[in-house]
Amino acid sequence: AQSVAQPEDQVNVAEGNPLTVKCTYSVSGNPYLFWYVQYPNRGLQFLLKYITGDNLVKGSYGFEAEFNKSQTSFHLKKPSALVSDSALYFCAFPLGGATNKLIFGTGTLLAVQP
Amino acid sequence: EAGVAQSPRYKIIEKRQSVAFWCNPISGHATLYWYQQILGQGPKLLIQFQNNGVVDDSQLPKDRFSAERLKGVDSTLKIQPAKLEDSAVYLCASSPRTSDSTQYFGPGTRLLVL
pLDDT tens sequence across B23-61: 999 999 999 999 999 998 999 999 999 988 999 999 999
Does the pLDDT value for residue B97 go beyond 80?
Answer: no
CA–CA min distance B51, chain A (Å): 13
* Res. B1 pLDDT band, cuts 50 70 90: low
Q: Beta A87-94 vs A33-38: how paired, if at all?
A: antiparallel
Q: What percent of chain A lies above the pLDDT cut of 70?
A: 100
Name the least confident of A9-18, A93-102, B13-22: A93-102
- φ and ψ at B84, to 5 degrees? -55, -40
Taking contacts as CB-CB distances below 8 angstroms, the residues of chain B near A98 are: 55-56, 98
Does the pLDDT value for residue B98 go beyond 70?
Answer: no
A104 touches chain B (CB under 8 A): yes
Higher pLDDT, B81 or A42: B81
B99 touches chain A (CB under 8 A): yes
- Taking only the tens place, the pLDDT of each residue in A49-91 is 999 888 999 999 999 999 999 999 999 999 999 999 999 999 9
**DSSP secondary-structure letter at A61?**
G
Say which residues have a Cβ less than 8 Å from residue B47's Cβ, sequence separation at least 6. B33, B34, B54, B56, B57, B59, B60, B65, B67, B77
* Res. B13 pLDDT band, cuts 50 70 90: very high
Mean of pLDDT over chain B: 93
**Whether A63 contacts A36, CB under 8 Å:** no
Residue contact A99–B108, C-beta within 8 A: no
Higher pLDDT, A98 or A56: A56
CA–CA min distance B98, chain A (Å): 6
Return the residue of B nearest to A35 by Cα: B102
- φ and ψ at B23, to 5 degrees? -140, 135
Residue contact B107–A102, C-beta within 8 A: no
